[in-house]
Amino acid sequence: MDLKKLLQPKTVAVIGASEKEGFGGDTCRNIIEYTEDLNNTYFVNPKRDRVFNRPCYKSISEIPSDIDMIIICTPQNTVEPMLIEASKKGCGGAVVFASGYSETGTEEGMKAEESLKKLCEELNIALMGPNCAGFVNYIDNVYPFAFISKKRDRKGNVGLISQSGQICLSLMETQDMKFSYAISAGNSKIITMEDYIDFLVDDDNTKVVSIYLEGVKEPGKFINSLRKAAIKRKPIVVLKAGRSEKGRKNAASHTGSLAGSDKTFDAIFKKFGVIRVDDVEELMATSNMLSIIDKLPHKSTFASMNLSGGETGVCADIGYNYGIEFPDFEEYTLAKLRQQLPSYASPNNPLDMTASLSYDAELYADALRTVMNDENIGTVLIGYTLLFEIADPAIYYMAEGIKRVVEEGGSKPIMILPFLENTRNYEYTEKLRDLGVPVLPPSVYAFKVVKYLADFVDYKYEDNTLEIALPENIDECGTKALSEVESKMLLKEYGVPVDEAYVVKSEFEAMEAAEKIGYPLVMKIESADILHKSDVGGVKLNINSLNEVSSAYNEIMVNVNTHKPTARINGILMQKMLPKGMEVIIGVNNDAQFGPMVLVGLGGVFVEVFKDVSLYPAPLNKSEAHKMISELKAYKMLTGYRGEKSCDLDALADMIVKISVFADKNKNTLSEIDINPLFVYPEGMGVGVADALVVLNN
């Protein structure tokens, strides 16, 4: 299917054209209002001769030329006959507003959708929807959109895709956003969200891809698009529904999407440098900011230039809360600022310039140049509340100063950071936009957006594998847990270091094994039916003599027979007692859509208490493994907190990589891995696998 026939059509027909309010009438109104040349747009309605004083054809067949795309504004039962008729006129694209498909949850709706999908495949028609609001191609002035909105110049470089028509319309209504495309995708059963994303990633007129996403249907396509965007350094900004249990349910019921595991989406986005935002305001502000700045900053550091001490303090505090780096100015910068600023100003970063320079364009430009030329600074934030109605003339001089600096060329990104809402004076917002200077939302939102920029600047696709172990043909007929010995032997084949172990089936064998192993040793029940050995009294630690071996053997067997009488027992596992180290967990969960997700975190009992973990898709390299470790809140403990020796983080990273390789190679059969605890020893002393569990798909 050719998306150009859908999204970049040369000829368009509106089926069900009307002057009434509703899909047919409102679509016609939009087309007449926004389309510069109507000669290649045709209206069709068997009951009308003219619509809005334009000729109206009785049928598609009567149209005197071939048609690239049709907009079907008629009920569900008319959709398929219209597609068949249009295909005879060369139609390759269609927008279908009608509902009554899978979103209803009924068998009838499901069948109708399958029939529609099959027909589109047969006719090779790229169909948007069904149950959608349509789209706007602002580059070519194509407007098959069913909602009325106030006319204004919306042409820009943000490619918006939304699985919610209302969110799409709300973003189109904001005066800040300007688009290359705005797509309200609906059910996305023929042309999918993944297809639209791929189209916009490849589109030269789209600088930023902005998405409201409820779920993914084609993981392979999705990953390919994210990979392509990462390599191109084209930002993808996503508002993904489904963080909460209710959000996941709502997302699934709204468009029939598979919501997937939310933490998995976080991990995927992290790997490919996708910016995930928390609400629609952030989606708008982040997309807008990235679309306006001419180029990305060379580093993720910021200077804040403010007109008062109070605003400077707000910048310092809120910036700190969001991890914004305000580096100290170089000495040459400080020396120049001391000359340029009033004697009572304090040249620090964030900077309180005082208001005096803001009433002189050249003095303001000089101070801006000074800050911008500091090697430590990547982006300049100008603290100023641009009120809707301007009373204070400072902005006139500041904007002129900014213009002079920008037009000299080679400037770093500049952004306006207001401290209150009631901002966005339209005239000056547009003037600043033309200079490549976005006006951010108020400070808390602003610094979240700034942090997204910093993280995107720091992301280097070269450091990541950009591969995902997407599963194929997973057998979902249940799972089978391996015993500890079976699990360790399987992992050993992939280079995971495990100590020599013996499985004994009698007290005598236990005593023989003890002599070979040496003391201290550990004894554990060996059974695939007992995953939590301590819970049934199946573990004995620090055994130091034959008497203790004998006692431990009998006690374990009695405990297990009491608590798990039906468990299949392989014997008792005996091995050298590992020295204590920092307890860490490494795990894997095989996501149904995106494959194995590798987890690392503080281990032992703490994993359930603190839930301090980092998740990342397999496969991964050593750089990615180190990044996972550094994201943990417990990272300070691993690097030698308060005089403690630093842990062997290189060995831990190696272990994570080995587990990811195992998960990648076994993506179709693996269900879970749990290595807990993994003891991490001081630097240079490696790691020790105390316990391991592998669960396979049956």
Q: Running DSSP on this structure, what letter comes out for residue 420?
A: S
Asked if residue 660 is part of any domain, the answer here is yes
Q: What is the CATH number of the domain that holds 625?
A: 3.30.470.20
Q: What is the DSSP string of 433-452?
A: HHTT-PBP-SHHHHHHHHHH
Per-position DSSP letters for 661-698, written without gaps between them = HHHHHTTTTEEEEEEEEEEEPBTTS-EEE---EEEEE-
The residue among 528, 555, 576 that closes a domain is: 576
Query: Prior bond to 350 cis, omega within 30?
Result: yes
Q: How far is CA 556 from CA 363, 445, 514, 571, in A?
A: 82, 58, 16, 10
Cβ count within 10 A of residue 530:
21
Can you list the alpha helix ranges (DSSP code H) found in 180-238? 193-202, 219-232
Distance from the first to the final alpha carbon of the chain: 38
Residue 138 maps to a domain: no
Domain co-membership, 29 together with 83: yes
CB atoms closer than 10 angstroms to residue 404: 16
- Phi, psi angle pair for 662, to nearest 5°: -60, -45
The crossing angle, in degrees rounded to 10, of helices 165-173 and 280-292 is 50
The b-or-e profile of 571-600 (16+ CB within 10 A means b, else e) is: bbbbbebbeebbbbbbbbbbbebbbbbbbb
**Which helix (H) or strand (E) segment is 101 a member of?**
none
Residue 298 placed within a domain:
no
Residue with tokens 């963080």: 243
Query: Does some domain include residue 261?
Result: no
Domain harbouring 520, CATH code? 3.30.1490.20
* Mean pLDDT, rounded, of the chain: 92
Check residue 165 and give its pLDDT.
Answer: 87
Which of 40-54, 281-295, 464-478, 577-591 is the least confident region?
464-478
- Position with higher pLDDT, 228 vs 147: 228
pLDDT exceeds 80 at position 475 = no
Neighbours of 84 (CB within 10 A): 15
Pure H helices in 236-352: 245-255, 262-272, 280-292, 309-321, 331-340
Q: What is the mean pLDDT of residues 372-379?
A: 96
Tell me the percentage of the chain whose pLDDT exceeds 90.
81
Strands across the sheet containing 41-44: 50-51, 54-57, 41-44, 12-15, 69-72, 93-96, 126-128
- 587 and 510 inside one domain: no
Residue 34 placed within a domain: yes
Cα 671 to Cα 29, 83, 308, 568: the distances in Å are 54, 44, 58, 21
Q: Does 380 score more than 70 pLDDT?
A: yes
Same domain, 540 and 610: no
Q: Is residue 139 part of a domain?
A: no
In whole angstroms, what is the distance from residue 264 CA to residue 558 CA?
Answer: 42
- Chosen domain end from 419, 435, 451: 435
Are 536 and 604 contained in the same domain?
no
Q: What's the rounded mean pLDDT across residues 228-233? A: 98
Q: Give me the pLDDT at residue 257, please.
A: 35
Q: Across residues 64-78, what is the average pLDDT?
A: 95
Instruction: Say if strands 179-184 and 155-162 run parallel, antiparallel, or are unpaired.
Output: parallel
Residues 527 and 614 in one domain: no
Chain segment 304-355, per-residue pLDDT in tens: 999 999 999 999 999 999 999 999 999 999 999 999 999 888 889 999 998 8
The pLDDT of 276-304, averaged and rounded, is 96
For 401-440, what is each residue's pLDDT tens digit? 999 999 998 889 999 999 988 667 888 999 999 999 999 9
* All residues at 6 or more sequence positions from 535 whose CB lies less than 8 Å from its CB, including other chains: 563
* Across 223-246, average pLDDT: 91
**DSSP letters spanning 133-182:** -EEEETTTTB--B-S-------EEEEEEEES-HHHHHHHHHSSS--EEEE
Q: Does 141 map to a domain? A: no
Residues 6, 121 within the same domain:
yes
* 681 and 565 share one domain: no
What is the domain count for the chain? 4
Supply the pLDDT for residue 696. Answer: 93
Better-scored residue on pLDDT, 625 or 500 = 625
- One domain for residues 107 and 20: yes
What is the predicted pLDDT for the residue at 252? 40
Distance CA 350, CA 100 (A): 56
- Residues 602, 562, single domain; the answer is no
Of 170 and 242, the structure prediction assigns the larger pLDDT to 170
Q: By 3-state DSSP, what share of the chain in percent is helix, strand and coil, each rounded to 5?
A: 40, 20, 40
Tell me the two tokens of residue 260: 């997937």
Give the HSE-up count for residue 14: Cα atoms under 13 Å, Cβ half-sphere: 32
Q: Tell me: the pLDDT tens digits for 172-183?
A: 998 889 999 999
* pTM for the structure as a whole: 0.91
CATH number of the CATH domain containing 16: 3.40.50.720
> Would you call 380 helix, strand, or coil by DSSP?
strand
Neighbours of 88 (CB within 10 A): 12
Distance (Å, whole) CA 386 – CA 420: 9
Q: Is 643 left (phi over 0), alpha (psi -120 to 50) or beta?
A: left
pLDDT at 607 over 80: no
Residues 665 and 547 grouped into a single domain: no
Do 276 and 470 form a contact (C-beta atoms < 8 A)?
A: no
Output the pLDDT for position 625: 97
Q: Cα–Cα distance between 112 and 109 in angstroms, integer?
A: 5
- DSSP string covering 616-631: EESS--HHHHHHHHHT
- Write the CA distances from 27 to 11, 52, 143, 488, integer angstroms: 15, 12, 8, 64
Is residue 598 within 8 Å of residue 656, measured between CB atoms?
A: yes
Range 420-423, long-range pairs (CB < 8 A, 24+ positions): 420/385, 422/387, 422/388, 423/385, 423/386, 423/387, 423/388
CA-CA distance, 179 to 273, in Å (whole number)? 22
Q: Are residues 33 and 126 in the same domain?
A: yes
Mean pLDDT over residues 493-515, rounded?
A: 94
Residue 411's domain spans which residues? 308-435
Cα torsion through 372, 378, 384, 388, rounded to 10: 110
Identify whether residues 568 and 603 lie together within a single domain.
no
Write down which residue in 560, 576, 592 finishes a domain: 576
**CA distance readout (Å), 549 to 527, 534, 572, 690:** 19, 17, 11, 19
- Given this model, what pLDDT does residue 494 score? 94
Task: Give the number of C-alpha atoms closer than 13 A to the C-alpha of residue 499, restricted to the C-beta side.
Answer: 22
| Per-residue pLDDT at 258 | 34
In a domain, 155, yes or no: no
Structure tokens at 342: 């009033």
Overall average pLDDT of the 8-17 stretch:
96
In DSSP terms, 481 is beta-bridged to: 695
